[in-house]
Amino acid sequence: MTMMVKVEEKLYQNRYIVDESRPHIQIKSVEACQTCEKQACTFCCPAACYSKNETGGVTLVTDGCLECGTCRVVCQDKGNIAWDYPRGGYGISYKFG
């Protein structure tokens, strides 16, 4: 049995301090994603930040990012993700952790 889940509803509970227009993770080459066979980032990211787009590539929206690092590990063979932490104090701010 697999439930349909909206990850947005989960993320909605979290507290974020958003650093407007300063995404801390970036896709380096759009083309590399288009030729990436599995596009594993789209189903490995626990916050569903990566989604397949109409051009056959992947769109990244870091708003819900939990700063886990999984996408960087997943994409290391392609090396197509520039991964950094947000500026100090910004990003996810867990109340409980």
Beta bridge partners of 17: 91
Binding part of the chain for ligand SF4, among 1-9, 11-19, 37-45 by CB under 6 A, reads: 37-45
- Cα 40 to Cα 13, 37, 54, 78, 91, distances in angstroms: 26, 8, 17, 11, 23
Scored b (16 or more CB within 10 A) or e, 46-61 reads ebbbbeeeeeebbebe
Which x/- pattern, by CB under 8 A, does the window 1-30 give for another protein? xxx-x-x--xx-xx--x-------------
Which of the choices ligand SF4, another protein, none does residue 30 contact, using the CB cut-off of 5 to 8 A by kind? none
Residues in touch with another protein (CB under 8 A): 1-3, 5, 7, 10-11, 13-14, 17, 38, 40, 43-48, 66-70, 72-74, 76, 83-89, 91-97
